[in-house]
Chain A
Amino acid sequence: MYDFLTGPMLWATFIVSFGGLLVRSVMYVKGLSWQLDRVAYRPQMKYGIRGGLRSILAFIIPFRARLWRVRPGFTLVFFAFHIGLLVTPIFLEAHNVMLKNAFGISLPTLPTGLADVLAWTCLAGGLFLTLRRIAFPEVRIITTFYDYLLLVITVMPFITGLIARYEMGDYNFWLAAHILSGEIWLLALPFTKLSHVVLFFMSRMQLGMDYGIKRGGMKGTDMAW
């Protein structure tokens, strides 16, 4: 089971997930229409790229955009959650051991204590995001079953990973569950709105280009996001 999950299944997952995300990105760009979107992407590319990059940076840097400044509490949890989601799997020692065995290379790895903190942060963040969906009427009204499902898919690798890491219960079972849930998460990326891992950049770039070209950029005034 372990060999299958970390062998052919893992390869298939990587191909479908990363290949799928690449396809989504290409399709997005191909589907842009200067006339329907009313943005002169190509002729004003220089302004567009400037506006696009400003737009992305304003929202990936904590407290840069006004949105992040007016809601400091949410911003902290939101960034902690996303940093944990991204950093933990990539720099975890146990994952890099596999990388080393397969290719002989390894990324710098996180100290165990820090990895634990990040993983717990993700769980706490996921819990917070779930609770606010229930607690706040403005979030509840737009929340669907699908939103909860995606949260479960996203935090499951962390839950199973932590159970395995603390060796609660049957280690082999929880390890397999961890790998499988991680693969489910990766497979879900291109097919669900988790595709925002790439489409966030696409969409932000697009609106940034709109502002950089048509909505002020060419007038020499930068949008104060």
Chain B
Amino acid sequence: MPEGKFCNKTPINTEEQLKATLGDKGGKQYYEEMNHLDVDSDKLWAAIQKTMKSRTKTWLEICAHCGLCAESCFLYQVNGRVPEQVPSYKIQSTLGVMVKKKGKVDNEFMQMCMETAWSKCTCCNRCGMYCPHGIDMGVMFGYLRGLLYSQGFVPWELKIGSGMHRVYRAQMDVTTEDWVETCEWMAEENEEDWPGLEIPVDKVGADIMYTCNAREPKHYPEDIAEAAILFHVAGENWTVPSEGWEQTSLSMFAGDWECCKDNVLNVYAALERLKPKRAIGTECGHAHRATVIEGPYWAGRPDGQPPVPYIHYVEWLAEALRTGKLKIDPAKRIKEPVTLQDSCNYVRNQGLKNVTREIISYIVEPGYFVEMAPNREHNYCCGGGGGFNGIGLYREQRNVALRKKMEQILDTGAKLVIAPCHNCWDAIRDLEEEYKIGIRWSFLKPLVIKMLDVPEHLRPTEE
């Protein structure tokens, strides 16, 4: 059986296919079908020839096999330092072999590649910082994922994830109506406590267009309310688009480049339509990477920039605190040991390492902030990045992967972890669930709201 009903080389493009694939609980039939999936070697080799240019070719060729990348990889560290977890080995034995064999590889090899690409690498890009030749194996694994996806060798959840993005242009089944209704609901729900609170939809010419992660309308609508409250208190002229509000990209984790492009163009179209001065995205790492860092390239923008300045939530928050748009009541600052999780996707991948610390300086009583070691761009992945959190097949491996973050947090002695990234937030929640080390974790928005010094005219009138 070359192509399965669920496991095949065709992306999910309709709601019907999506529901059918979702109905295959845990991907039982999907993975069974994968055992019989044929490899289209000609297509694979043609794709490699077309897309593997001098950068990647040189990376594969000049790797000196020095092994210095080993210790840089947290998965190598937490898996008993087995040599099979050395980044260089992982990429040479997968992409390297695929190229050497000119795409003439078999099903078993492709399944091994799939396991390596999604359970032995989170594309955190840390190894690239420790290779003397500047070989970024995280980037190469991202590339390998694309090749695997095009051949149908992708974990079940990510096939569905990119299908969601194809069908709903969101990582979850949230329609335009659902989204707009959620915004209205959240505005009403909080109106009493925050008089005048609005979530303006499709306002043309606002200063800020806000975009988020579909999990927020789907599972944590209070996150949208919190964003609205902070914009409201800061006196910002802002809006959300009815279409193009979702900036995440499970398709990036899946390696579905066509879908990545489609989704980011959808967000950019909202920018063209609403003409805001700038855009701000929520506290999510990969969403920022997809829409702001890599997105311009998928969309074919030669300057590598989104159509309008597009910043991460932490940049806006730091600015609002710096300029006094938001004021913190010093008595309500955090007065317990607290640490900060640096998200790979906007710290190692966009250098946003100082703004988060600036925020900390406003919201934490001096002396209580404890850095993880190492930190900033040298920090380790939360353990669940690159889609790892969501793949049932690799749950065990993911749980082992969490141990590095657990050790780092335990070493700080802090019981509170600030995690301004959905993926990191999830991973830290799961690590508490799995290892019970007695920590709490939080996004920035709820913390800041609790300690705001709200101007008189914005407070509810007491009658």
Interface stretch of the complex, out of B28-36, B125-133, B185-193: B125-133
Checking A33, A42, A202, A215 against B53 with a beta-carbon cut-off of 8 angstroms, the contacting residue is A33
B350 touching A219 by the CB < 8 A rule? yes
B53 touching A32 by the CB < 8 A rule? yes
Cβ-based interface call for B1 (8 A): no
Cβ-based interface call for B70 (8 A): yes
Cβ-based interface call for A141 (8 A): yes
Q: Specify the chain B residue showing the minimal Cβ separation from A143.
A: B65
B136 touching A138 by the CB < 8 A rule? no
B351 touching A219 by the CB < 8 A rule? yes
Which residues, 133 to 166 on B, are CB-close (under 8 Å) to A?
133-136
Checking A40, A70, A139, A142 against B302 with a beta-carbon cut-off of 8 angstroms, the contacting residue is A40
Q: Specify the chain A residue showing the minimal Cβ separation from B50.
A: A36
A66 touching B134 by the CB < 8 A rule? no
A39 touching B304 by the CB < 8 A rule? yes
Cβ-based interface call for B13 (8 A): no
From residue A190, how far is it (CB to closest CB) to chain B in Å? 12
Checking B132, B303, B351 against A40 with a beta-carbon cut-off of 8 angstroms, the contacting residue is B303
Among A74, A203, A224: residue with most chain B CB under 10 A = A203
Cβ-based interface call for B92 (8 A): yes
A141 touching B303 by the CB < 8 A rule? no
Q: Which residues of B contact A136 (CB under 8 A)?
A: 67
CA distance A139 to B69 in the complex (A): 10
B294 touching A38 by the CB < 8 A rule? yes
Interface stretch of the complex, out of A86-94, A110-118, A166-174, A192-200: A192-200
CA distance A71 to B64 in the complex (A): 17
CA distance A64 to B54 in the complex (A): 27
Would you give the 0/1 interface string for B62-76, flagging 1 where the beta carbon is closer than 8 Å to chain A? 111111101110001
Cβ-based interface call for B352 (8 A): yes
A142 touching B89 by the CB < 8 A rule? yes
Cβ-based interface call for B395 (8 A): no
CA distance A74 to B70 in the complex (A): 14
A32 touching B89 by the CB < 8 A rule? no
B129 touching A141 by the CB < 8 A rule? no
Cβ-based interface call for B61 (8 A): yes
At the interface, is chain A mostly helix, strand, loop or mixed? helix
CA distance A219 to B351 in the complex (A): 7
A193 touching B61 by the CB < 8 A rule? yes
Q: How many A-B residue pairs have CB under 8 A?
A: 150
Cβ-based interface call for A140 (8 A): yes
Instruction: Decide yes or no: A138 and B62 within 8 Å by CB, A40-B304, A66-B129, A224-B377 being known contacts.
Output: no
Would you give the 0/1 interface string for A31-46, flagging 1 where the beta carbon is closer than 8 Å to chain B? 1111111111011100
CA distance A199 to B58 in the complex (A): 8
Cβ-based interface call for B348 (8 A): yes
Interface stretch of the complex, out of B19-27, B79-87, B418-426: B79-87
B62 touching A195 by the CB < 8 A rule? yes
Cβ-based interface call for B278 (8 A): no
Instruction: Decide yes or no: A224 and B378 within 8 Å by CB, A143-B65, A200-B62, A207-B136 being known contacts.
Output: yes
A144 touching B354 by the CB < 8 A rule? no
Would you give the 0/1 interface string for B439-463, flagging 1 where the beta carbon is closer than 8 Å to chain A? 0000000000000000000000000
Q: Which residues of A contact B361 (CB under 8 A)?
A: none
From residue A162, how far is it (CB to closest CB) to chain B in Å? 25
From residue A207, how far is it (CB to closest CB) to chain B in Å? 4
Among B55, B130, B293, B348: residue with most chain A CB under 10 A = B55
CA distance A213 to B354 in the complex (A): 18
Number of chain B residues whose Cβ lies closer than 8 Å to a Cβ of chain A: 54
Cβ-based interface call for B101 (8 A): no
Checking A32, A40, A55, A141 against B134 with a beta-carbon cut-off of 8 angstroms, the contacting residue is A55
CA distance A144 to B97 in the complex (A): 14
Cβ-based interface call for B194 (8 A): no
CA distance A144 to B71 in the complex (A): 20
Cβ-based interface call for B14 (8 A): no
Q: Which residues of B contact A133 (CB under 8 A)?
A: 65
Q: Which residues of B contact A208 (CB under 8 A)?
A: 134
A31 touching B89 by the CB < 8 A rule? no
Instruction: Decide yes or no: A138 and B81 within 8 Å by CB, A28-B54, A225-B129 being known contacts.
Output: yes
CA distance A139 to B63 in the complex (A): 12
CA distance A33 to B53 in the complex (A): 7
From residue B392, how far is it (CB to closest CB) to chain A in Å? 29
Cβ-based interface call for B275 (8 A): no
CA distance A203 to B134 in the complex (A): 6
Q: Which residues of B contact A143 (CB under 8 A)?
A: 65
A196 touching B62 by the CB < 8 A rule? yes
A193 touching B62 by the CB < 8 A rule? yes
Which residues, 37 to 73 on A, are CB-close (under 8 Å) to B?
37-40, 42-44, 55, 59, 66-67, 70-71
From residue A148, how far is it (CB to closest CB) to chain B in Å? 10
Instruction: Decide yes or no: A27 and B293 within 8 Å by CB, A140-B83, A215-B351 being known contacts.
Output: no
Checking B62, B351, B374 against A223 with a beta-carbon cut-off of 8 angstroms, the contacting residue is B351
Instruction: Decide yes or no: A27 and B54 within 8 Å by CB, A66-B129, A204-B134, A213-B304 being known contacts.
Output: yes
Cβ-based interface call for B300 (8 A): yes
Cβ-based interface call for B394 (8 A): no
CA distance A42 to B353 in the complex (A): 26
Q: Which residues of A contact B135 (CB under 8 A)?
A: 203
From residue B280, how far is it (CB to closest CB) to chain A in Å? 15
Cβ-based interface call for B111 (8 A): no
Instruction: Decide yes or no: A221 and B353 within 8 Å by CB, A32-B53, A213-B304 being known contacts.
Output: yes
Show 13 residue pairs from A and B whose CB-CB distance is below 8 angstroms, ordered by the A residue: A39-B304, A40-B297, A74-B68, A136-B67, A140-B83, A142-B65, A142-B92, A193-B64, A195-B61, A199-B62, A202-B58, A219-B352, A223-B129
Given contacts A28-B54, A206-B134, A214-B349, 19 further A-B contacts (CB under 8 A): A31-B55, A37-B55, A40-B304, A42-B302, A59-B134, A66-B130, A66-B374, A139-B66, A141-B83, A144-B65, A147-B65, A193-B61, A196-B64, A200-B133, A213-B304, A215-B293, A220-B351, A223-B351, A224-B377
Residues of A within 8 A of B (CB): 27-40, 42-44, 55, 59, 66-67, 70-71, 74, 132-133, 136-144, 147, 193, 195-196, 199-200, 202-204, 206-208, 210-211, 213-217, 219-225
Residues of B within 8 A of A (CB): 51, 53-55, 57-59, 61-68, 70-72, 76, 81, 83-84, 86, 88-89, 92, 128-136, 293-294, 297, 300, 302-305, 348-354, 374, 376-378
